[in-house]
Structure 1
Amino acid sequence: MRTRLTAASGILLLALAGCAATPATSTTPADESVGDGHGEIAGAHELSEPALHLTTVDEEGGVHHLDLLDEESEVLTEIDPIDDLVSDGRYLFGIRDGSVTVIDSGVWTWSHIDHFHYYEAPSRVIGDIEGSGLATVVAGETGTGILFDDEAALIDTPALADGEVVENFRIPVETHAGLVVPLATGAVITQPDADGTAQTLRIVDADGTAGESVPCANAAGTITTVVGVVIGCADGAALSVGGDPSEWERIAYPADAAPAATDFAGREGRPSVAALAGSGGVWLLDTRDRSWMFQGVGEEIVRVAAVGDDADRMLALTATGSVLVLAGGEIVARTEPLVAASVADPELVAGVTFVVDKNRAYLNGPAENAMWEIDPADGARIARTFQATAAPLHLAGTGR
């Protein structure tokens, strides 16, 4: 079974200097090329603050864009219905059997190491990437990995800014539930054993040339933190730091570990991420300290995400539709059942997810036709409720 993946990428450590202060407004003309390493593209406007949006896709394929500043909503485009949605904070990858539709949301944040630049440009559908079966997509800064049933592909992410889908490589693979994880250069592709279970990570160059292998039994789940690229393994996590494809560390589970993590979620740019530990517990992986922490919850959990604050808070969605805030080994807050109908529906629950920002978290309820803004640091207070114009079947945060 292929699980929903959060966006992952290779870490680019850029020593950039001489950056001017971000202006309050932009006067960049639409026909002037402004690309200079600051995340700008022709036609983009630089903003004084991030243009944070919630982007959702409904059952019919309508792509909706909710501006979190003025709470205005618009329809970006209409695409064929999808089964899953992955985003890196700018680009959206709508996944269905046989193809992946790539959409530029038109809002993004560019990290300049010690500060950020914020941009807005017209949104657009860039194109479709076709292949066999329901793809697994891992979005990254330099490349986006796509695993179809019998092919692995690496898409050039910077080329998407020019409205082009450029495949760095597309190579045949054995059918298995696995990953193509982009690195700073090239990628790693999971390789299965005779039973079709991913057991190793094959390092490949940007052109698809195969290199050495890294052991990773039952490889499942990936995410990028401020420290490096994480891939889940049966005995812990494989961690690539500094962008060297051949350098991997192992963060082993503690003795008598709970079930292994198979999916990770957390706030972008933070060292800690969360993962389910079976149905009744949560893992917190701190990639900076190279450590795992387990917290039992005592009830069934269907989704988790790390808040990434100083209190090591985590969010957990229960099987009854309530949101829990976990910290210090305890449940410190609980909401009423917000998405009870959505999590009770097997066809809807897969699309219910958290989007976590610095001060707020967001949750979608397709059956409830709503989204909620939650303050994890204030007793899980519901700061705002957004009534959706169409059921938010899939949710992503854009402008980040």
Structure 2
Amino acid sequence: MKLKAVTAVVAALTLAACGGEQPKEVTPEVPHGYVEGAEEAAEAQSRLIVADSDTGAVRVVDLITEEVHEVGRVDGVRAVTGDGRFGYLTAGDGTIRVIDSGSWMVDHGDHVHYYRAKVRDVGVAPGKQLSAAYSDPAVSALSYSDGTTTLLDRAALDKGTVTELGKITHAGVAIPYGEHIIATVTDDGKPFARGVRVHDRQGKAVAEIDQPCPELRGQAVTRRGVVFGCADGALLVTEKDGAFAGAKIPYPRSVTAQERATAFFHRPGGATLAARAGDSAVWSLDVGRRSWQYVETGPVAAVNAVGEGGPLLVLTRDGKLRSFDSAGKEQTAIPLLTPEGTAAGAATIQVDSTRAYLNNPLSAEVYEIDYNDNLRRARTLKVGGKAGHIVETGR
């Protein structure tokens, strides 16, 4: 009986397919978060873009497989800036080379997608002397030292093409945020920005944040909003239902021009920021609690913040990496570089959700540090040439 039933069903389907109405072709459903030409992974596919300041050689290091990809040369390379996927390398003549690391994440708020693809050299971006680069899924904003920002089509960039959408003229940086662009503004003839303005994605100004930010220097993008450094503290810009607002986070005391924060460092998305406070101390800014902490560390070469509940990481000029707890008390110190290795100012601390990476500008070594285990050196990565400049992607 069962065999007859199956035979009857097959026969009926065959007749239906051969005569009368033809069956409709089924289109495969596109998975949520799908990106053409990329492989989705269950965990972060972190990579390092590494540039040799002596030879200009550019390499991408896969932090999972330790495979090193050679990606050409950038003559006189003197800086590397990243936006989570792309590295923007400033050459000796000021031109900007764009490198696709082939590693990135897409944050949907309640969940995250991780992707990996081929490493490639995208080409040269418009403009010279890059000062900052920030992106969202639609726009990449490249800000230059002459006070202008070029807006690039991010979808085109993902496919390997540099396509300009518009420009913004201002006095510092522009940051895609809340489906708009937050850009600094200045008065004619003034050396520093005084506040921030909201633009649409083509660069047209649509609103101005009413909170002033005198002598604006330094910025960071966090899950709680965009932070700007001001002479009197920090300005936090947030967005809700298309409306933008600014709130000040004043310093706990009067600070000198040398003590104020002018550049912020943090784990991508993290809401705890670190900044130098003169030569021998560091500011820790808890954006969630809207509070500052002054931490005496000794002479500072590099700094970064792990995030809420995590340590403050400081490379001091004696070559030691030090960690400080939320109360500003030193927990651990380990030797990593020589004093000469910190003197060039090229050593940086890159931080992700489990590890920190610190480059030795005088050698081919990058040190992977487990900051949750007394700064244990988990790996020493050999990248070839000299690890003059690094930036992590895929976070």
Q: TM-score, normalised by structure 2?
A: 0.83
CA distance in 2 between partners of 1:226 and 1:81 (Å): 35
Within 5 A, what are the aligned runs for 1:67-86?
67-86=62-81
- Percentage of pairs with the same residue: 33
Structure with greater Cα Rg: 2
Q: Cα RMSD over matched residues?
A: 2.4
Over 3 Å counting, the alpha-carbon distance change for 1:182 and 1:116 in structure 2 is: closer
> Which residue of 2 is the match for residue 294 of structure 1?
294
CA distance in 2 between partners of 1:103 and 1:71 (Å): 18
> Which residue of 1 is the match for residue 117 of structure 2?
121
Partner residue of 1:147 out of 131, 134, 143: 143
Secondary structure of the structure 2 residue equivalent to 1:64: strand
The count of residues paired between Structure 1 and Structure 2 equals 358
> Which residue of 2 is the match for residue 109 of structure 1?
105
> Which residue of 1 is the match for residue 389 of structure 2?
394
Instruction: List runs of 5+ in structure 2 lacking aligned partners.
Output: 1-26
Over 3 Å counting, the alpha-carbon distance change for 1:229 and 1:36 in structure 2 is: farther
Partner residue of 1:165 out of 155, 162, 165: 162
Kindly state the Cα deviation for residue 306 of structure 1 after the two structures are TM-superposed. 0.6
> Which residue of 1 is the match for residue 42 of structure 2?
48
> Which residue of 2 is the match for residue 336 of structure 1?
335
1:219 aligns with 2:199: no
Q: Is the 8 A contact 2:59 2:383 kept in 1?
A: no
CA distance in 2 between partners of 1:101 and 1:160 (Å): 13
CA distance in 1 between partners of 2:332 and 2:74 (Å): 39
Q: Is the 8 A contact 1:339 1:368 kept in 2?
A: no
Deviation sequence 1:343-364 (CA, Å, 0-9, x none):
123xxx1x31111122211100
Q: Is the 8 A contact 2:126 2:150 kept in 1?
A: no
Deviation sequence 1:334-385 (CA, Å, 0-9, x none):
111424222123xxx1x31111122211100111331111122222221211
74-83 or 356-365, larger mean C-alpha shift: 74-83
> Which residue of 2 is the match for residue 246 of structure 1?
244
CA distance in 1 between partners of 2:181 and 2:284 (Å): 25
> Which residue of 2 is the match for residue 270 of structure 1?
270
Within 5 A, what are the aligned runs for 1:318-397?
318-327=316-325, 328-345=327-344, 349=345, 351-397=346-392
Q: Is the 8 A contact 2:238 2:244 kept in 1?
A: no
Q: Is the 8 A contact 1:138 1:182 kept in 2?
A: no
CA distance in 2 between partners of 1:118 and 1:71 (Å): 18
Instruction: List runs of 5+ in structure 1 lacking aligned partners.
Output: 1-31
Secondary structure of the structure 2 residue equivalent to 1:232: strand
Q: Is the 8 A contact 1:61 1:78 kept in 2?
A: yes
CA distance in 1 between partners of 2:253 and 2:124 (Å): 45
210-219 or 317-326, larger mean C-alpha shift: 210-219
Kindly state the Cα deviation for residue 304 of structure 1 after the two structures are TM-superposed. 1.0
CA distance in 1 between partners of 2:57 and 2:200 (Å): 37
Over 3 Å counting, the alpha-carbon distance change for 1:190 and 1:269 in structure 2 is: closer
